[in-house]
Structure 1
Amino acid sequence: MSRVISHVVIGISGGIAAYKVCEVVSSLAKRGIEVRVILTEAASAFVTPLTFATLSRHPAYTDADFWQPTNGRPLHIELAEWADLILLAPVTANTLAKLAYGMADNLLLNTVIAADCPVLFAPAMNTTMWLQPTVQENWRKLLAFPRYGAIAPTAGILACDAVGTGRMAEPETILEYIESWLWTNGRQDLKGKTVLVNAGGTREFIDPVRFIGNPSTGKQGIAIAKAAIHRGAKLILVKAGSLEIQSDLQLQTISVDSAREMQEAMQIAMPIADIAIAAAAIGDVRTTWQSDRKLPKSELPLHWQMEYIPDIIANLAQQKQSAQILVGFAAQTGSESEIIAAALDKLQRKGLDAIAANAVNHAETGFGTDTNQAIFLHKDGKQQQTPLCSKLELAHRLFDFLAS
C-alpha cells in the first residue's frame, strides 16, 4: 500500500454497524489513501454524510448526487473508473441480494457494477437473517466471482441482543484486508494451497512459574498468516507462548509452549503444507531437568546444566518433499554484511528454500514493533531487500519473492 497513492471507494448500506466504518475512513485518510464514500438512503439514517465528508476530507455521495454529472460524465462511472478498490461495509441482506442478481437501483450498486476493480464485502446482520438459506446462497453466488472478496462476519453479542454470527468485522481487520487487497489487487494466488506458519516464542519451563524464553511477540508470524489468508490460502498456525489470535481469523490453530511441542506440531502438519514458513523464535537451549513444583529461591541452582534443543527447521528440511517450499527467518544483530552472511549460512546449512533475515537491534525492526525490514535470500542466489514497512506488507513482499 505504500508504493502509490491508492483510491478506495467505500459504500455503506443501512445498518447499525455503519458507525464502525467511521474509523476505517478516518484511518485510511490519515495514511494518505484517497477515499470516496457513498451512502444509501438507509445508511444516512445511521451516520450522516457530513460525518463521512469530514473524516474523508471529501464530500460524501448519496442518491441525491446520482445524476449530477462530474466533468460531464455520470458520477457512478467516474467513481467506478477512479477506484482501485471498493469496500462495501456493512453489507445488508437487501444489498447482498441485489448485487447477487445484478440489480442497480441506487448510486452505490451502479458504482459497483460499473467497476472492474476488486470489491470487498463486510456483511452485518442478525444471526437468523445471516443463516437464512437464501442469504447464504446469495453470499456464495457473489463470492464465485474472482474480483469479489469476503470479510466474513464474526460471532458475538449483536445490536439486537442476539448472540451469534453476524457482527461486522472490526475496523482493524477491515483495514488489514484493504492493505492486502491494495497490494495484491485482489489476487488470490494462494487459493488451493495450504500454508503452515509458526509464530511467537517458545518457553522452556524450569518449574511451573519460571521459564527460559525470548521477547518474540509473534507479530510477524501473525502478519504472514493474515497475508496468506487474504491471498486465499488455507492456513495452519502453530503458535507458541501467550500469543493471542484474533477470533475472526479463519485458520486452524495449534497452541504449544516448548520447542519439543513445537517440533511435534510442525512435523505432524508439514506433510500437508505446500509452503511452510518458520517465523517463530525457537529456543536454543533448555535445562536438563524441570521441577513439577515451584522451587523456593533458596533451592534455585546458580549453575544450570543445559542441553541444546534440536534444530526444528533443519529437521523439517529433511522431511520436506521436492514440491514443498520451506522458508526460515533469521533474527540477527550486526552490520548488513554480517546479517547476510549469517542468514546465508543458515540457508545452506539447514537446507532451506529461502530465508528472511532482519535486524532485531533497531528500534523499528526489533521484537514487538509494528514495522519491519528484511533481506530475502533464495537458495538459487537471488536476494531482495525490503524497505521499512508494516509487517503485513513485508509478509506480502515475502510471498511475492517466493512466487518470483
Structure 2
Amino acid sequence: MLAGKTVLLIIGGGIAAYKSLDLIRRLKERGAVVRVVMTAAAQHFVTPLAAGALAHGRVFTELFDRDAEQDIGHIRLAREADLILIAPATADLMAKMAHGLADDLASAVLLATDRPVLVAPAMNPFMWAHAATRRNVARLREDGIAFIGPNVGEMAERGEAGPGRMAEPTEIAEAAARRLAPVEPGPLAGRHVLVTSGPTHEPIDPVRYIANRSSGKQGHAIAAAAARAGARVTLVCGPVNLPDPAGVTVRPVETARQMLAAVEAALPADAAIFAAAVADWRAAREAGEKMKKDGGAIPALALTENPDILATIAHDPARRPRLVVGFAAETENVVGYAQAKRARKGCDWIVANDVSPRSGIVGGVMGGDENQVHLITETGVEHWPTASKSDVAERLVARIAAALGPLE
C-alpha cells in the first residue's frame, strides 16, 4: 500500500485530466499524502481549486512563484516525494521528459528529481502511434521510467477508438503501490554482464574513417535491461549519439582493437553480449596527414582484417564467460548465415536480424527503434515478433537470467 508515502501527482493537459480528481481520492484511500502540480494546459480541463480540495493542500502551478521559489520550491517538490506520478501524461510532456527540457514547473521538477517516476499516457491513438512518440517512449523506458497504460478504448474525438486512453484511476493507484513496494533482488543480482554496443571507426587518415550504420540503440537497451535486472554491467561502446544507460559502467572506444582491449580488461564476466557492429577491416596503413584529391590517380586503399572480438573471447577457455551471445546483422539468408556464424565463432547464442530494406521495420533496423530478431541456440531457432528494441532487450535479458540460473 501507500501508507505514509508522498506521491507528487503531475496533471498534464489532456481531456483525461478529469480522471486525475478521482485518482487523488484513490491514492489517499491507500494512505498516500498527495501533492499536486498542474501544467498550464491542465488548468483548461480541471481547476487547481478542485484538485487542491481533494488533495487537502496547495496545488503548484508556476515555476516562478514568488513565494514557493524563495526556497527553490521546484527542487523541494522533486526531492520530498517518494514517487512522481504523471497522469495524464501528454505527448508534449513526454517529449519534454525525453529531451530534458525544463521550461515549466512540471518539466523542471521531472528533470531535478532522483525519485521513481510512473507515467500514465493519454492521447489520441494517432499521436500514440506516431514515430516521434514511440521514440520518446523508448528513450524514457531506457532511462528507467515506468509506464501504466495506455488502455484501448473510445476517444474524446467522435468515432475514434484505439490505444491512447488513460488507465483507470484504480489501475494507476495500484501501479503506484507496486512501484513503491520493497525491491526484490533482480534475477541477475550478483552477476557481471559485459555488453558491447555501437559501431567502430577505423581511421584512414586524420579526417576519414571506415564505419557502418549501427546506432548502438539495441546494445544500449540490453545494457540498461541487464542493469534493471540487478546485474553489474560493463558497456564497451563505440562512437554513438546516445546517453549512457543508468547504473552502467561505460567504457568508450573508437576502433576494433580498442574494443577488444576494453573487453579483455572487463573480464571476467558471467555473460557477454556482443551487440556491437565491429568493422571487419581497417586500413592497412593509416595516413598521418589528410589524403588530398589533387587530380591524380585515385589512391589505393589497402585493407587488413580486424581482430574478431566474439571469436577471440568465445574460444578462450581461460577467460570465456559462461554464456556468450553474438549478433548477426544480415541482408539475406538471415537464419542460415547466423547458424553458420554461431558454429564458426563458438558462441552459445546468436541474435540474428534482417537489416535489409526488405525487413519491414519502419525507419530501418539500423538507427530505428524497432527490431525483429531470431534467437539461434544449440537446440533450435526462435522467431521473435517485431518489437521495440527495449522490449527485445528485456526478453533477451530474461532468457539470459534463466540460462544462468540462481547465483550459488
Q: TM-score band (shorter)?
A: 0.5 to 0.7
Name which of 272, 276, 295 aligns with 2:272: 276
Judge conservation of contact 1:204–1:257 (CA < 8 Å) in 2: yes
Aligned to 1:344: 339
Is 1:256 paired with 2:253? yes
Aligned to 1:64: 54
Which residues of 2 match residues 267-306 of structure 1 at below 5 A?
267-271=264-268, 273-298=269-294, 301-306=298-303
1:234-292 CA distance string (max 9 Å, x none): 11111112x13425622211111111111111111122x11110000011111110012
Output the CA distance in 2 between the equivalents of 1:196 and 1:262.
12
Instruction: Give the letter aligned to residue 342 of structure 2.
Output: L
Judge conservation of contact 1:41–1:62 (CA < 8 Å) in 2: no
Output the CA distance in 1 between the equivalents of 2:280 and 2:251.
21
How big is the shift at 1:201?
Answer: 0.5
Instruction: Give the letter aligned to residue 51 of structure 1.
Output: A
Segments of structure 1 that go 5 or more residues without pairing to the other structure are 1-10, 30-35, 67-89, 97-120, 124-153
Aligned to 2:222: 224
How big is the shift at 1:13?
Answer: 3.4
Output the CA distance in 2 between the equivalents of 1:54 and 1:226.
37
Judge conservation of contact 1:270–1:276 (CA < 8 Å) in 2: no
Is 1:312 paired with 2:284? no
Of all paired residues, the percent bearing the same amino acid is 30
Output the CA distance in 2 between the equivalents of 1:48 and 1:292.
56
Name which of 377, 385, 388 aligns with 1:387: 385
Output the CA distance in 2 between the equivalents of 1:315 and 1:401.
24
TM-score by length of 1: 0.60
Judge conservation of contact 1:209–1:294 (CA < 8 Å) in 2: yes
Output the CA distance in 2 between the equivalents of 1:53 and 1:194.
50
Aligned to 1:102: none
Aligned to 1:371: 370
Output the CA distance in 1 between the equivalents of 2:267 and 2:104.
39
User: How has the CA–CA distance of structure 1 residues 13 and 65 changed in structure 2, closer, same or farther, with 3 Å as cutoff?
Assistant: closer
Aligned to 1:43: 35
Judge conservation of contact 2:223–2:245 (CA < 8 Å) in 1: no
Judge conservation of contact 1:12–1:37 (CA < 8 Å) in 2: no
Judge conservation of contact 1:284–1:309 (CA < 8 Å) in 2: yes
Which residues of 2 match residues 354-365 of structure 1 at below 5 A?
354-361=349-356, 362-364=359-361, 365=364
How big is the shift at 1:54?
Answer: 6.6
Tell me the secondary structure at the aligned position of residue 327 of structure 1. strand
Judge conservation of contact 2:256–2:279 (CA < 8 Å) in 1: yes
User: How has the CA–CA distance of structure 1 residues 92 and 368 changed in structure 2, closer, same or farther, with 3 Å as cutoff?
Assistant: closer
Tell me the secondary structure at the aligned position of residue 319 of structure 1. coil
Output the CA distance in 1 between the equivalents of 2:45 and 2:348.
49
Tell me the secondary structure at the aligned position of residue 235 of structure 1. strand
TM-score by length of 2: 0.60
Judge conservation of contact 1:314–1:351 (CA < 8 Å) in 2: yes
Name which of 104, 113, 130 aligns with 1:167: 113
Output the CA distance in 1 between the equivalents of 2:329 and 2:206.
28
Instruction: Give the letter aligned to residue 342 of structure 1.
Output: Y
Output the CA distance in 1 between the equivalents of 2:114 and 2:394.
25
Which residues of 2 match residues 4-403 of structure 1 at below 5 A?
13-14=7-8, 22=12, 37-38=23-24, 43-44=35-36, 46-47=37-38, 51=42, 64=54, 94-96=80-82, 121=83, 166-168=112-114, 174-176=140-142, 177-178=144-145, 188-241=186-239, 243-246=240-243, 249-271=246-268, 273-298=269-294, 301-319=298-316, 321=319, 324-334=322-332, 338-361=333-356, 362-364=359-361, 365-379=364-378, 381-402=379-400, 403=402
User: How has the CA–CA distance of structure 1 residues 270 and 363 changed in structure 2, closer, same or farther, with 3 Å as cutoff?
Assistant: farther
Judge conservation of contact 2:244–2:250 (CA < 8 Å) in 1: no
Instruction: Give the letter aligned to residue 248 of structure 2.
Output: L
Segments of structure 2 that go 5 or more residues without pairing to the other structure are 17-21, 57-75, 86-99, 120-135, 150-178, 404-408
User: How has the CA–CA distance of structure 1 residues 198 and 51 changed in structure 2, closer, same or farther, with 3 Å as cutoff?
Assistant: same
Aligned to 1:74: none
In the alignment of these two chains, the number of paired residues is 290
Output the CA distance in 1 between the equivalents of 2:44 and 2:313.
53
Instruction: Give the letter aligned to residue 297 of structure 1.
Output: K
1:50-97 CA distance string (max 9 Å, x none): 939979xxxx9888399xxxxxxxxxxxxxxxxxxxxxxx9865554x
